[in-house]
Amino acid sequence: QVQLVESGGGSVQAGGSLRLSCAVSGYTGNSYCAAWFRRAPGKEREEVARISPTGTRIYTDSVKGRFTISRDNAVHLQMNGLTPEDTAMYYCATAQWWDCGSSSWPDNPTTYWGQGTQVTVSS
């Protein structure tokens, strides 16, 4: 059914940039909510950015002004000014469009996750 495949991760030095992409298949049209999450070693999962089908975006405070989420036929995360604190496994996720206004990301059979892509930032 729905499949999400991330790409674009890698190793960069502090101050560098990466562009993550999430190929999404299985939906009819683009009316789904999409988000990027990350999990750093020894830390809890964190929602980095979210975008609605109409383009409404939200970001966690630590990435505002540095990261940009966007969507076309895929979901992207442009990451600029990377710091070692951004080192984590990054995951793409999708949910039903009406869940995009929820304060917490849903965890149900209509929520999907990619396999993750590693981002490592060295100082």
Q: What is the mean pLDDT of each run of 10 residues along the chain (123 residues)?
A: 96 98 94 97 96 96 98 96 98 95 91 98 96
Query: What pLDDT was estimated at residue 29?
Result: 87
Angle at 34 between CA 31 and CA 38, to 5 degrees: 170
- The separation between CA 21 and the C-alpha centre of its own chain, rounded to angstroms, equals 9
